[in-house]
Amino acid sequence: MRFRITLDGAPPGDSHGSDVDARGRGIVDGQRLYQLVRQDGPIVDRTFEIRFLDPGVQAYAFTFG
């Protein structure tokens, strides 16, 4: 199942996690934890959005830190 993330309304670029490319695209391929964002530098307030592009995905928990 495909998904796309944004940070502050834009693709994450260098802040993408290991399960997402720089354009914010990723694929859910099973039940596991996914690293969506990995931000370097100081932590500041950001707006994170995830959009599931295919039906059938269920997300139960998100962790930040």
User: What would the pLDDT profile of 1-30 be if each residue is shown by its tens digit?
Assistant: 999 999 999 999 999 999 999 999 999 999
Query: Given this model, what pLDDT does residue 44 score?
Result: 87
Residue 65 has pLDDT above 80, yes or no: no
| 40: pLDDT strictly greater than 90 | no
Cα–Cα distance between 22 and 6 in angstroms, integer? Answer: 10
Mean pLDDT, the chain, rounded, equals 93
Give the strand order in the sheet containing 2-7.
25-27, 2-7, 48-52
| CA-wise closest residue to 62 among 50, 53, 52, 54 | 50
The pLDDT of residue 12 is: 96
Greatest pairwise CA separation for the chain in angstroms: 36
Closest CA to 20 of 41, 45, 3, 33: 3
